[in-house]
């Protein structure tokens, strides 16, 4: 007998409960002693994608078998309680009673983390989901009053926010792929709620987000005609917004916020600024000022913030020590990059998350800026914080715009300016690149290494 099998069953259950559900089930093949231990795991995950072949001609019978499998599993469960139950089952029409019985099982076993994901994997936007206006599964009443519940994730699952007692709301709540007209009641006066995530929802009306939550995520939602969004989050530590540009306003935001992620990737860039882009630039600059810990920003923000009447005056210094720029490194973003560098006086690490060149970009110039000469101007050096030590480029390809800005940063690190100098540049090259493209990237990396002087240039496979 191996030493692991000699351990008490209680200890073995604790061990297998730390494995993924799939690995846990595989332990039943080890020996007779292990055969039924997996039915005591405290973390149960049922995924339709692991059981039903989407390309099969008779998916209905496979879905029936999948439901039978879930019911048999819980009937064989030998434990007193469970930590986690996760069900991923796309649009379970005709299986509502079975799903409800599985949820009631979890409530009976005092589940702490409950995931109910009934969304369709083929959905890409909220438009896809809104066509299915009928909600197949409603959250059972027993869940609202479950005192042990710490985390709840419900995707394409109907629920009534008013049924959550203020003292019974879980600490972490994630809602997705559903029409959501009332956000305020989820956030305001909910002392137990610490993390709220709203993903791919539609029909959102009044958007006054106020409360003492520490984590807030708003991702790719569709709003009603009201395009205003107000935040009053004095305790927030992590803030992520992804989606369309709204008229943002902030009453109170934690001034020592740890991480901010802003992504307006669904918003198309533009070739020439106009009055609307100027207004959006001012809105986003003001929003950025209220989020002084901003860490990750997108190409559209880099382009928009330069369109203000006086961006140098409007933007205020940020507390960011590690700035991540998700960028296409088009010339339209260059001034925005420099503006952010100028407003991060404590910056130590700068990461370019390169998204690839925009094939529709006009390319060489924008607003009097030329990509070849912009980073050669002497005035550019005064915009670089003297605390910068590390530059990271992810998805490095060796393109011209990448090299222009890297040569500038490396040149500054060779002592062209007073104060601390750049220590190293790290280039991450994707293994999946075509061999010829990979060879170009490696040769350009070697060129940077040969001219970098005291600045280390390190190359990594990614």
Residues 300-356 pLDDT 10s: 888 888 877 777 666 788 888 999 999 999 888 888 898 888 888 899 999 999 998
Backbone torsions φ then ψ of 436, nearest 5 degrees: -65, -40
Model confidence band, residue 35 (pLDDT cutoffs 50, 70, 90): low
Pairing of strands 84-88, 43-47: parallel
Of the candidates 458, 361, 355, the one whose C-alpha atom is nearest the C-alpha of residue 406 is 458
Radius of gyration of the chain (CA): 26
Q: What does the pLDDT read at residue 359? A: 52
pTM of the model: 0.84
**pLDDT of 114 over the 90 cut:** yes
Q: Give CA separation, 229 vs 155, 162, 218, 353, in Å.
A: 23, 22, 11, 28
DSSP letter assigned to residue 333: G
Q: Which of 145-149, 391-395, 419-423 has the lowest mean pLDDT?
A: 419-423
pLDDT tens-digit series, residues 222-244: 877 667 888 899 999 999 999 88
152 within 8 A of 174, measured Cβ to Cβ: yes
pLDDT mean across residues, the chain: 84
Whether 302 contacts 401, CB under 8 Å: no
What is d(CA 397, CA 122) in angstroms, rounded to the nearest whole number?
31
Question: Residue 180 — very low, low, confident or very high, per pLDDT cuts 50/70/90?
Answer: confident
Average pLDDT over residues 80-102: 94
pLDDT, residue 356, reads 83
Task: Note the Cα 405 to chain centre separation in Å.
Answer: 27
Q: What percent of the chain has pLDDT over 90?
A: 37
Q: Any idea which residue has 């200890």 for tokens?
A: 11
Of all residues in the chain, the percent with pLDDT exceeding 70 is: 82
Average pLDDT over residues 140-154: 94
Residue 362 has pLDDT above 60, yes or no: no
* Residue range 417-439, pLDDT digits in tens: 554 478 999 999 998 899 999 99
pLDDT for 24: 66
CA gap 327, 354 in Å, rounded: 5
At 419 the pLDDT is 44
- Phi and psi dihedrals of 289, rounded to 5? -65, -30
Of residues 228 and 84, more confidence is placed in: 84
Sign of CA dihedral 381, 384, 388, 394: negative
Stronger pLDDT, 26 or 136, i.e. the higher one: 136
Long-range contacts of 131-137 (CB under 8 A, 24+ apart): 132/91, 132/156, 133/179, 135/178, 136/91, 136/92, 136/93, 136/96, 137/92, 137/96, 137/99, 137/100
Task: Return all residues near 436 (Cβ < 8 A) that are at least 6 apart.
Answer: none
Task: Please state the separation of Cα 134 from the chain's center in Å.
Answer: 28
Q: What does the pLDDT read at residue 325?
A: 95
72: Cβ contacts below 8 Å, ≥ 6 apart: none
More confident residue, 96 or 7: 96
| CB within 8 Å of 149: residues ≥ 6 apart | 111, 112, 114, 143, 168, 170
pLDDT of residue 109 exceeding 70, the answer is yes
> Measuring CA to CA, which residue among 73, 5, 7 is closest to residue 43?
73
- pLDDT category, 369, cuts 50, 70, 90? confident
pLDDT (0 to 100) of residue 442: 95
pLDDT average, residue stretch 200-217 = 85
Residue 372's closest CA among 400, 392, 398, 337? 400
Q: Which residues, in sequence order, are bridge partners of residue 196? A: 173, 216
389 pLDDT tier (thresholds 50, 70, 90): very high
* Kind plus residue range of the DSSP H or E element containing 318: none
Kindly indicate the confidence band of residue 34, based on its pLDDT and cuts at 50, 70 and 90.
low
């Amino acid at each position: 007998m191996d030493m692991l099998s000699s351990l008490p069953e209680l200890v073995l259950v604790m061990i297998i409960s730390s494995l993924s559900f799939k690995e846990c089930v595989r332990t039943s093949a080890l020996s007779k002693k292990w055969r039924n231990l997996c039915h005591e795991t405290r973390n149960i995950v049922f995924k339709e994608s692991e059981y039903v072949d989407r390309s099969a001609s008779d998916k209905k019978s496979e879905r029936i078998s999948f439901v039978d499998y879930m019911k048999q599993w819980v009937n064989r469960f030998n434990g007193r309680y469970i930590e986690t139950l996760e069900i991923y089952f796309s649009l379970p029409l005709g299986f509502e009673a079975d799903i409800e019985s599985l949820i009631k099982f979890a409530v009976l076993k005092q589940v702490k983390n409950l995931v109910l994901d009934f969304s369709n994997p083929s959905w890409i936007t909220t438009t896809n989901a809104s066509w299915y206006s009928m909600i197949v599964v409603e959250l059972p009443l027993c869940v609202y009053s479950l005192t042990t519940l710490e985390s709840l994730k419900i995707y394409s699952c109907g629920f009534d926010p008013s049924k959550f007692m203020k003292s019974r709301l879980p600490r972490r709540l994630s809602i997705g792929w559903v029409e959501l007209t009332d956000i305020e009641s989820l956030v305001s006066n909910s002392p137990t709620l610490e993390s709220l995530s709203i993903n791919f929802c539609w029909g959102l009306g009044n958007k006054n987000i106020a409360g003492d939550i520490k984590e807030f995520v708003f991702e790719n939602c569709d709003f009603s005609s009201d395009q205003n969004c107000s935040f009053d989050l004095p305790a927030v530590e992590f803030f992520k917004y992804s989606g369309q540009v709204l008229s943002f306003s902030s009453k109170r935001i934690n001034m020592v916020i740890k991480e901010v992620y802003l992504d307006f990737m669904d918003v198309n860039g533009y070739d020439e600024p106009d009055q609307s882009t100027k207004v959006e630039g001012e809105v986003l600059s003001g929003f950025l000022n209220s989020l002084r810990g901003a860490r990750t920003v997108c190409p559209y923000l880099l382009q928009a913030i330069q369109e203000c009447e006086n961006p140098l005056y409007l933007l205020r210094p940020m507390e960011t020590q590690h700035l991540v720029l998700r960028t296409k490194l088009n010339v339209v973003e260059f001034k925005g990059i420099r503006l952010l560098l100028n407003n991060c006086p404590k910056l130590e690490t700068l990461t370019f998350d390169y998204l690839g060149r925009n094939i529709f970009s006009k390319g060489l110039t924008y607003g009097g800026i030329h990509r070849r000469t912009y980073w050669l101007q002497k005035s550019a050096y005064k915009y670089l914080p003297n605390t910068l030590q590390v530059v990271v480029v992810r998805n490095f390809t060796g393109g011209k715009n990448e090299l222009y800005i890297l040569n500038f940063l490396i040149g500054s690190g060779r002592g062209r300016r007073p104060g601390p100098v750049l220590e190293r540049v790290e280039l991450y090259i994707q293994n999946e690149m075509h061999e010829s493209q990979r060879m170009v990237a490696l040769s350009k990396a070697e060129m940077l290494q040969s001219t970098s002087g005291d600045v280390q240039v390190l190359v990594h496979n990614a």
